[in-house]
Amino acid sequence: MPNDATLRSPQPSHTLPPSPFPTEDPILSQIGGTPMIPYPGAQNERLLCKMESENPTRSMKDRIAMGILSEGLRDGAYDTVVEASSGNTAGAVALVANRLGADCILTCPEGTSRDKIGYMKAFGAKVHTCPDVDSDHPEHYRAVAQRLADEHDAFLVNQYHNQSNPGVHYRWTGREIWAQAGAEMTYLVSAMGTGGLLSGSARRVKEEAEAAGREVTVVGVDAEHSNISTAFRGDDPVPYDTSVEGLGKGGQLPTMWFDYIDEMRDVSDERAFEQARTAAQEHGMPIGPSAGAALAVGLDISANHPDARVVTIICDGGEQYFDTLFGV
C-alpha cells in the first residue's frame, strides 16, 4: 500500500549555479549539483535534506577534493598528492587524483573502517596506516602525511588548515543551497568535523539572506564529548570521546568560521547512530552517523518551530557504515 510520500507531487526543480570547477571528465563532472528533498520522516515538507550523499564517493568531501586539487595541480608543479584523513576525504582525494592523473598517498589512523580504506585503494592510492597516538606524536597520521609530502615533493591537501576547504563550499555548496531553498529557508543545520562544509555554506547563505533582507539561523552540530561546541561557547574543554566518524574535534580548527554560525548543539553518539538507522530502515534513506546527528537536530528544530523551513545537510551516505550501523 503506498504511503502519502509516494503519492505527493514531485518537488519543483531549481536551476543550480554551475560548478566553479568546470570539467569535461565524465566522472568528476558528477560532483556537485546534488538534490534537495523533503525528509520522509517529517510531519510536513518543511524539513529539507541537501543530499551530499549523492556525490560519486557518497560524501560532500568530493567537492573539496575537486576544488583543491583542480587548482593545486593546475600548473603541473606536482605529480603526487598526499593527504591525512580518517574518513571520507581520503576516498574523495583518491578519486580526484586518479582522474587528474596524479599519484596519491594517504595516511589514516588504525581503526579506520575497511570500507573507507577500500575506497582509497580502489582508486589506486597507496595507504599508510598509522598508530592511534596523540596529535603531537611524530607517528600521528597527520605528521606522517607532512613527512611524506616533503619526501615526495608532493602537494599536501591539508584539509584541517587549508582555507580552500570552507572556500570551496562558499563558492559551490552554499550557492546551491540558496538556489534550492533560499526563498523560504530559515535554518541551516550541519554536522561539523573540520567545519569547512558548514562554515563556507553558512557564509554564502548569510550573505545572500542579508542581501534579500532576511535572516537564516545557522546551527552547527557537534558530538556530545567534543570540543567544537566548547570552543564556540568559550567553555573549558572536555575529554574528547566519540565513536561517530567525522563528527567533532578536540578544539577549533582554522577551517571553522565561527563568525557565520549562530549556535552549536551537541548530540550523543547513541542518538546519532539511532537516527541514521531510522532514516534507512523506516524511510529508505541510508545516511552516515554524523548526518544522523545533524538530522536529529533538524527534527528537533522542526518540532519546536512548526513554521520554520529547515535545511539539513546530509554530509554522507550510510554505505561505508553498514558494519557499525547494522553489524554486518
Is residue 36 included in any domain, yes or no? yes
Question: Hey, how many other C-beta atoms are within 10 angstroms of the C-beta on 128?
Answer: 15
CA–CA separation, 50 vs 61, rounded Å?
A: 14
Domain final residue, candidates 101, 135, 156: 156
Q: Specify the residue for cell string 533538524.
A: 298
Is residue 285 included in any domain, yes or no? yes
The predicted model scores a pTM of 0.94
Task: Report the pLDDT value the prediction gives residue 153, as an integer from 0 to 100.
Answer: 97
The CATH number that applies at residue 252 is 3.40.50.1100
pLDDT tens-digit profile of 178-195?
A: 999 999 999 999 999 999
Which residues form the domain of 301?
Answer: 4-56+166-326
DSSP character string of 199-259: HHHHHHHHHHHHHTT---EEEEEEETT-SHHHHHHTPPP------STT---SS--TT--GG
CA–CA separation, 38 vs 206, rounded Å?
A: 22
Both 261 and 278 in one domain: the answer is: yes
The fraction of the chain above a pLDDT of 90, given in percent, is 84
Task: Report the pLDDT value the prediction gives residue 323, as an integer from 0 to 100.
Answer: 87
Q: Residue 316: what are its φ and ψ, rounded to 5°?
A: -155, 165
The chain-wide mean pLDDT, for the chain, equals 93
pLDDT tens-digit profile of 44-80?
A: 889 999 999 999 999 999 999 999 999 999 988 899 9
Is residue 83 included in any domain, yes or no? yes
Is residue 321 included in any domain, yes or no? yes
Tell me the chain's radius of gyration from C-alpha atoms: 19
In this predicted structure, the answer to whether residue 136 has a pLDDT above a threshold of 60 is yes
Question: Hey, how many other C-beta atoms are within 10 angstroms of the C-beta on 44?
Answer: 9
Domain final residue, candidates 121, 156, 191: 156
CA–CA separation, 48 vs 11, rounded Å?
A: 11
pLDDT tens-digit profile of 76-113?
A: 889 999 999 978 999 999 999 999 999 999 999 998 88
In this predicted structure, the answer to whether residue 12 has a pLDDT above a threshold of 70 is no
Mean pLDDT of 268-291: 97
| 33 vs 111: which has the higher pLDDT | 33
Both 90 and 196 in one domain: the answer is: no
In this predicted structure, the answer to whether residue 162 has a pLDDT above a threshold of 70 is yes
Q: What H or E segment, with its residue span, contains residue 106?
A: strand 103-109
In this predicted structure, the answer to whether residue 4 has a pLDDT above a threshold of 60 is no
DSSP character string of 134-159: -TTSTTSHHHHHHHHHHHTT-EE--T
Both 33 and 86 in one domain: the answer is: no
Structural domains in the chain (count):
2
Both 143 and 212 in one domain: the answer is: no
Mean pLDDT of 133-138: 90
